[in-house]
A and B are shown apart, each in its own frame.
Chain A
Amino acid sequence: MEVIQDIFGWAFLMGGAFFLLVGGIGVLRMPDFFTRMHAAGITDTMGAGLVLIGLMIESGFTLNTAKLLLMLFFLLFTSPVSSHATAHAALLAGLKPWRRGDKPAKSLPDPRTAGAIMTTTEPAQPKSRTASPQRRNGPHKGGRR
Chain B
Amino acid sequence: MAHTVSLFVVLAAVWLLLSGHFTAFLLTLGLLSCLFVVYIAHRMDVVDHESHPLHIGHLLPIYWVWLIKEIIKANIDVTKRILNPKLPISPVLFTVPATQRTDLGKVIYANSITLTPGTVSTDVGADTIQVHALSEEGAEDLRGGAMGRRVTEFEGKP
Contacts and interface: CB of A to CB of B under 8 A. Distances in A.
A98 to B, nearest CB: 6
Interface string A10-38: 00000000010010011001101011011
Contact of B134 (A19, A35, A84): A35
Interface residues of A, number: 35
A79 B111 CA distance: 9
Interface stretch (B33-41, B119-127, B145-153): B119-127
A67 B72 CA distance: 23
Contact of A39 (B18, B71, B82, B114): B82
Given A84-B120, A99-B91, A42 B132 contact: no
A63 B111 CA distance: 29
Given A38-B117, A46-B71, A84 B89 contact: no
B87 interface: yes
Contacts of B90: 99-100
A37 B115 contact: no
A92 to B, nearest CB: 9
A63 B17 CA distance: 7
B20 A63 contact: yes
B120 A25 contact: no
Contacts of B17: 63, 66-67, 70
B80 to A, nearest CB: 10
B111 A29 contact: no
19 contacts: A25-B82, A34-B120, A35-B89, A35-B134, A37-B120, A38-B134, A39-B78, A41-B115, A41-B118, A42-B75, A42-B79, A44-B117, A46-B72, A70-B14, A79-B115, A84-B114, A100-B89, A100-B90, A100-B91
Given A29-B82, A30-B89, 18 more contacts: A22-B82, A38-B118, A38-B120, A39-B78, A41-B117, A42-B117, A45-B75, A45-B115, A46-B79, A70-B14, A80-B114, A81-B114, A83-B120, A84-B120, A84-B122, A87-B132, A97-B91, A99-B90
Interface of A: 19, 22, 25-26, 29-30, 32, 34-35, 37-39, 41-42, 44-46, 63, 66-67, 70, 76-77, 79-81, 83-84, 87-88, 91, 97-100
